[in-house]
Structure 1
């Protein structure tokens, strides 16, 4: 832990983490580099692995993986009749069409979604939640939110707002704002 200096208030003294050691080593070996981005990305990546682990563990309790939960949640939040075409699912998930097909195949085999012909376009197929799929997503989503809250629980409400705003700013810089 860093020592507190007379100029540094107690609230600003922070414990060290594993990334500090990595950055210190690089600073020693390459003092010419400004390592702020390495520190941020390193912390982001390490924290993301903890988030993924918590999500994977929770979803596995319900016989799902993250990608399956994502499809079920996308269909559920779309509103009744809880169905979308593959293009809409693809846009929401931002993966390849093959990945969506694989996810829908797995969920269909589990009886959680069904494919239905589109009444207005014979070439299109709609993916719809089955009653079992709706029941599963309704049963798991509240626990999922609690799990995410637990992962973020070290932050104060003010810190949550700050982090949310900063992450939004980074995403908009890379992806732009969605067209509404």
Structure 2
């Protein structure tokens, strides 16, 4: 098997191609296809992460804070989850979650209250202010994400989503 199939001449080169070309020059025995895929995924993730931070900044929240509010919003009425449920969904430690909850509660975007079903537990509930903010922020974030896909047509976006779903399902530990 060839280390790297020849690129079509009409395909634009990107920084990942330059890295792969350098490896091919010094280690032609390496199969760098995984590097081509994951190098681009990592670069896209970093770029989109930065763009998402900028999209949420006008709302006074970070991406991490957006994730907390969005998780509560997606849970449906009454937009209430336990800190443990939030931590599990967001793959955060309870300490990391506490800091986010403190900031969001101070901003009036959520409230913590005793869990009526567990005297030792708490519930976290989205406030009306938080509901309004997350509904606006999710729209702003989706606009940025949609713009990030503008180089692809609808069919390509669907194929990419399907391929990434398959890749995620086949990657141990990545399906949370």
**Distance change >3 Å, CA 177–CA 25, structure 1 → 2:** closer
Question: What is the CA-CA distance between 1:49 and the residue it aligns to?
Answer: 1.4
Q: What's the TM-score once normalised by structure 2's chain length? A: 0.90
Counterpart in the other structure of 1:48: 45
Counterpart in the other structure of 1:116: 113
Counterpart in the other structure of 1:98: 95
Question: What is the CA-CA distance between 1:143 and the residue it aligns to?
Answer: 1.9
**What is the aligned length?**
168
Contact 2:87 2:94 in 1 (8 A): yes
Question: What is the CA-CA distance between 1:26 and the residue it aligns to?
Answer: 0.6
Counterpart in the other structure of 1:82: 79
Contact 1:84 1:128 in 2 (8 A): yes
**Distance change >3 Å, CA 56–CA 176, structure 1 → 2:** closer
Superposition RMSD in Å: 1.6
Counterpart in the other structure of 2:157: 160
Counterpart in the other structure of 1:133: 130
Aligned mates of 1:59, 1:84 — CA distance in 2:
22
Question: What is the CA-CA distance between 1:13 and the residue it aligns to?
Answer: 2.4
Aligned with residue 32 of structure 2, among 32, 35, 39: 35
Higher relative contact order (CA 8 A, sep 6+): 2
Counterpart in the other structure of 1:145: 142
Question: What is the CA-CA distance between 1:148 and the residue it aligns to?
Answer: 1.0
Aligned mates of 1:109, 1:177 — CA distance in 2:
33
Q: Which runs of 4+ in 1 moved over 2 A?
A: 174-178
Q: What's the TM-score once normalised by structure 1's chain length? A: 0.88
Gaps of 5+ in 2: 1-7
Contact 1:54 1:151 in 2 (8 A): no
Aligned mates of 2:38, 2:20 — CA distance in 1:
11
